[in-house]
Amino acid sequence: MAQTTRELKALIFDVDGTLAETERDGHRPAFNQAFADNGLDWQWSEALYGELLEVSGGKERIRAYVQQSQPNFVLPDGFADLADFIKHLHAVKTQHYKQFAQEGRIPLRPGVKRLLNEARDKGIRLAIATTTTPANVQALLENTLGAESLSWFEVIAAGDMVPHKKPAPDIFEYALAHLNLPPENCLGFEDTNNGLLSATQTGLKTIITVNDYTRQQDFSQATLVISDFGEPEQPFQVIAGDAKDAQYFDIALAQAICAA
Ligand code: XBP
C-alpha cells in the first residue's frame, strides 16, 4: 500500500471555544434567557456551566441538568414528555444565541480570521466539526466573516448530523469522509478534552487553543497546546508541544506539524 505523504491539505475546526468564545459570550446567556422565557428559575452560573460543559450537546446538557439538579421538576402542560420540552427549550435558546451573534456579541478569537484567509490563499481546504447546531454555525460565521464565509468550508459537520456527539469520533469522521482525505493530510483544532478525544480517535493530529473553561483539562494527546492562534503583534503562549519558534499559528507551522 502506498505510503501516505503527510502533506497538509485541510484544516478541520471545532467551533465553540475554538473559533470564538461562544460558551461564555453566547451559549450560557442564551440558555439562561430561554429558561427565563419559559418561567423556569434555572440560572446556569459560569462555574456551574463549566461543569455542565462536560456533556456535549445543548439538549443533552439540559437533560443532564434536570436529572442531576431538578429532581422535583414537573413537566409543563402541552408537552408529551421531557424530550419534547427540552427540544422546545433548546429551540428558544438557539434563537437567543443567533440574536446575540447578530448583535455582534460573539467575536472571533485572535488569529482565526488571519489563519482562515491564509489557508484559502494557499489552497488549504477548510472544514468544520462541531457539536452545536448548523444554525448557530451559520449565525456565527455570517456575523463575523460575512455570508460568503459559509462557502469557505467544504463541509460543516454539526450537531445531530451524527448519532454520537463528542468525545465520540463521529463528527470528525463525517468531516474527513466528506473531504475524502485521510487524517494524515489534515489537522484538527479543538479547545476541550472531549473534542481532543473525538479528533484524535480518527487519527488526526490536533492543536488545542485553551480558554478559561478548559485550561485545566487533560491535553496530553494534543500535538500542540497554545493560548490562542496569536497575531504578529500579539504572540501566542506555547503551553505544550513544539511550535518551532513560531510566534503565532500560521500555515507554515501547520505544514511543519503535519509533515513531522
Ligand atoms: C460545544 C457543545 C455545544 C455547545 C452548545 O460544541 O458541546 O453543545 O455547547 O450548542 P463544539 P448547542 O465544542 O463541538 O463546537 O446548544 O447547539 O448544542
pLDDT at 2 over 60: no
Contact 136 CB / ligand 1 (< 6 Å): yes
Contact 186 CB / ligand 1 (< 6 Å): no
Question: Both 117 and 87 in a single domain?
Answer: no
Q: Give the per-residue pLDDT at 187.
A: 99
Position 13 confidence tier, pLDDT thresholds 50, 70, 90: very high
pLDDT, tens digit (0-9, with 9 covering 90-100), for 98-145: 999 999 999 999 999 999 999 999 999 999 999 999 999 999 999 999
- Distance from Cα 236 to the centre of ligand 1, integer Å: 25
Number of structural domains in the chain: 2
CB < 8 Å & 24+ apart, contacts of 211-220: 211/17, 211/21, 211/23, 211/24, 212/24, 213/17, 213/23, 213/24, 213/49, 213/50, 213/53, 214/17, 217/192, 217/193, 218/193, 219/193
The CATH number covering residue 40 comes to 1.10.150.240
Position 5 confidence tier, pLDDT thresholds 50, 70, 90: confident
Contact 130 CB / ligand 1 (< 6 Å): yes
User: What residue numbers bound the domain in which 66 lies?
Assistant: 24-102
Active centre residues (catalytic)? 14, 16
Cα-Cα-Cα-Cα dihedral of 91, 153, 100, 51, to 10°? 70
- Distance from Cα 56 to the centre of ligand 1, integer Å: 6
Question: Both 161 and 138 in a single domain?
Answer: yes
Report pTM: 0.96
Looking at 48, 69, 102, which one is the last position of a domain? 102
Contact 16 CB / ligand 1 (< 6 Å): yes
Q: Give the per-residue pLDDT at 156.
A: 98
